[in-house]
Amino acid sequence: MLKAICSKKNLKEHLYFKAVEDIIYSDEIQQLKNFQHHLSTTRFQHSLNVSYYNYLFCKKFNFNARAAARAGLLHDLFFYNRKEYIRKTGEKRHIGRHPQIALQNASERFEINHIEKDIILKHMWPFTLALPKYKETYVIILIDKYCAIMEFFAPYLSMFKRKKNKVKKLEMNKIKTATLVE
Ligand SMILES: [Fe+2]
Ligand SMILES: [Fe+2]
């Protein structure tokens, strides 16, 4: 099932899916499943999270939700392990440089419009110096960070939930045993 973080919706059955259905199963985007991102997730899942929440936010405010969804899926389109790449190349400004790499990869493989280009190229602003041109670009700057925070805390939240369920189960068992004894 295609799901975004902190959402129970099956994205294939959501209106969102219409905006990305022609690109999401491409080899290039599926390849992102092979790369770890933000420690606890894959680059594919991170891109899907950003794409979906970008779409929801832009839809709500009547911005270009289709461009936001598509560019969200393509904004981190690079095919290497970030840490290994930095170690090998010694590149210190990968944080501001990877949007250029993602835009080049996206432009070579997909047809993208001027809003989508701006979103991809400046999603790390202010690390990328040029100012965003569109409202949708400011949206991804926020949504990308929001998703990164959720992805970072997701493993701790599920650990907390598991512990809570375990305690609940133990308490239920205690009540059952007490009832049987009575
Ligand atoms: Fe990025
Ligand atoms: Fe990102």
Is 163 a domain residue? no
Token pair in block for residue 154: 């997701």
154 versus 88: the higher-pLDDT residue is 88
- The CA distance from 106 to 112, in Å, is 8
Average pLDDT over residues 18-29: 98
Spacing, Cα 159 to ligand 2 middle (Å): 24
Is 182 a domain residue? no
Q: Is the pLDDT of residue 29 over 90?
A: yes
Is 30 a domain residue? yes
CATH code for the domain of 40 = 1.10.3210.10
- For 37, the enclosing helix (H) or strand (E) is strand 36-37
Average pLDDT over residues 36-61: 95
pLDDT for position 150: 93
Q: Minimum-distance ligand to the CA of 43? A: 2
Spacing, Cα 76 to ligand 2 middle (Å): 6
pLDDT for position 129: 84
Spacing, Cα 72 to ligand 1 middle (Å): 10
Asked if 147 and 5 touch (Cβ cutoff 8 Å), the reply is yes
- The CA distance from 72 to 111, in Å, is 14
pLDDT for position 156: 79
pTM for this entry: 0.88
pLDDT for position 74: 98
Asked if 6 and 59 touch (Cβ cutoff 8 Å), the reply is no
9 versus 166: the higher-pLDDT residue is 9
pLDDT for position 21: 98
Confidence of residue 10 (pLDDT cuts 50, 70, 90): very high
Tally of structural domains, the chain: 1
Is 25 a domain residue? yes
Token pair in block for residue 50: 């950003």
- The CA distance from 175 to 83, in Å, is 51
Query: What is the identity of the amino acid at 58?
Result: C
Is 61 a domain residue? yes
Spacing, Cα 171 to ligand 1 middle (Å): 45
Q: Minimum-distance ligand to the CA of 140? A: 2
Note the pLDDT tens digit of each residue in 110-132. Answer: 999 999 999 999 999 999 989 99
pLDDT for position 166: 84
Average pLDDT over residues 136-141: 98
Q: Which of 42, 37, 38, 72 is nearest to 54 (CA)?
A: 72
180 versus 23: the higher-pLDDT residue is 23
End-to-end CA distance of the chain: 46
Is 2 a domain residue? no
Q: Minimum-distance ligand to the CA of 148? A: 2
pLDDT for position 102: 98
Spacing, Cα 12 to ligand 1 middle (Å): 24
CA dist list (Å): 45 to 76, 108, 178: 11, 22, 46
Q: Is the pLDDT of residue 30 over 90?
A: yes
- The CA distance from 91 to 94, in Å, is 6
Token pair in block for residue 143: 């949504």
The domain of 64 spans 11-157
Spacing, Cα 44 to ligand 2 middle (Å): 10
Q: Is the pLDDT of residue 96 over 90?
A: yes
Spacing, Cα 74 to ligand 1 middle (Å): 10
Token pair in block for residue 40: 């606890």
